[in-house]
Amino acid sequence: MSANHQGRCFCGAVKFTVSDGIAPPVPGSFNLNVLRAGRADLAITLTATPNPVAINGADTWNFAIKNNAPTVDVAGVTLTATFAGEVPFQFDAPSDPGCTFSVVGSTTQLSCTLGAVAGGMTRNLALTGHGGFAGDVFANAKVAVTGPVPIDETPANDTTTTALSVAQRVSSGPAQTISGVDARGIAAGDFNADGIADLAVATGAAQGTVVFLSIPDPANASRRMLASTPITLDPSPSRAIAVADFNSDHNLDVVTAAAAGSPHRIYMNAGQASFTGANVGDPAEDSYGVAVGDVNGDGLPDLVFANNGPTSVYLNRGSGVFELAAKLGTASSRGAVLVDLFGDALPELVLANASGDAAVYRNTAGAFTLELTLPTGPTTSVTAADLNGDKRADLIFGRDTSTLPATPSGEVWLNTSPSKPMPARVATRAAQRVPRTATSKCRRRSRRWSATLPLH
């Protein structure tokens, strides 16, 4: 047990290991807080229901303030909260007379003086309202004991945050269904320069590559839908698709990755969704994915094809001309992403491999070298995003295996390096395999593990 009391509460993590005698032992832990006599412990949670909610739809913010000290009563509680973000949220009059609102711009401040909360009991507060515009509302709330006593010795659970998404429309089913399309990959982009995203689809049949333009809904002119009849770019089948402005003419172009025997194709957009197609790369390549990014920092988007065999990197030489620059690895790759993991403005290459663990290639002046492999097991896709708001790119892998000990789910690697962005933590639903070098914490379901990766 590790603990930290420092003259206040005894707060520690109790670690344990469980085993059924057959499968490998599984470690876990839970937090134990022991309060000194006469001390309180307020904790607050906040949820928004429903979430997301449609514009002008009724929504309820639910505050739950719990006194975790079972025998110590709290005579009074103060609650403060801030609601801010892209759009203002309009609250109804508060249901509790001790609460008031103040509004400045798109930010709403809540201030409440509430009554007593007995030991072990919970004080609930519900506030209703609606959002008049589409966007996100971010809420921060804090609770405190009124007066000097009793002392709350565990301030870490006195604050909470949550967010509400206000959408133009919320549907329990698909807003639109397009039938008869053997889709293998999709990419969104504004191909006709009307300011609204359209949809490009790679198919595995003679339909080839098609584009569905966004049009006004005939049944409701204030809404949009995809045209039922697509623009056909090419009858060649493909497995994956991506979009970018490859020739710097401010029009989004399309690239597709194909199986062996069918060519990769690039479709240059002359504007207004007028495309001209050409082959790119090696038709012998058996590709499952394509990634786009400026590999060498020349301002032109380059291509990486994730292949069944060596992955290929093609540099953009301008005017739709691509030159083979490298062949990487020998794995059977199913997906690729180009993302800056080291903060040097050049993207690294991350490959999802069906034949083994994922691979990370470091980019040095436009040239890739294998940095490390991530113990993901076989994966089928990969993407990147800042999932925890620390301005570092994290990685998300898709999997389709259910072979133990892996689970048929996604796997998230959070970037926790303090100096150089690098994946260093396994998070929700990660596999239970743990290498052993430098320790960081992870969460799988409701338990905590130590996971490790070399940090460079």
How far apart CA 236 and CA 256 sit, in angstroms, is 10
**What is the rounded average pLDDT of the residues 104-119?**
94
Query: Percent of the chain scored above 70 by pLDDT?
Result: 85
pLDDT greater than 80 at residue 406: no
Higher pLDDT, 2 or 275: 275
Can you count the helices (H) and strands (E) in the chain? 0, 37
pTM for the full model? Answer: 0.64
The pLDDT score that the predictor gives to residue 349 is: 98
How far apart CA 163 and CA 161 sit, in angstroms, is 7
**HEC per residue, 86-123:** CCCEEECCCCCCCEEEEEECCEEEEEEEECCECCCCEE
Which residue's entry shows tokens 């069918």? 262
- Split at pLDDT 50, 70, 90, the class of 9 is low
Instruction: Please state whether the peptide bond connecting residue 230 to the residue before it is cis, i.e. omega within 30 degrees of 0.
Output: no
Given a contact cutoff of 8 angstroms between Cβ atoms, the answer to whether 306 and 386 are in contact is no
The string of pLDDT tens digits covering residues 31-71 is 666 667 788 999 999 999 999 999 999 999 999 999 999 99
Which residue's entry shows tokens 């807003």? 175
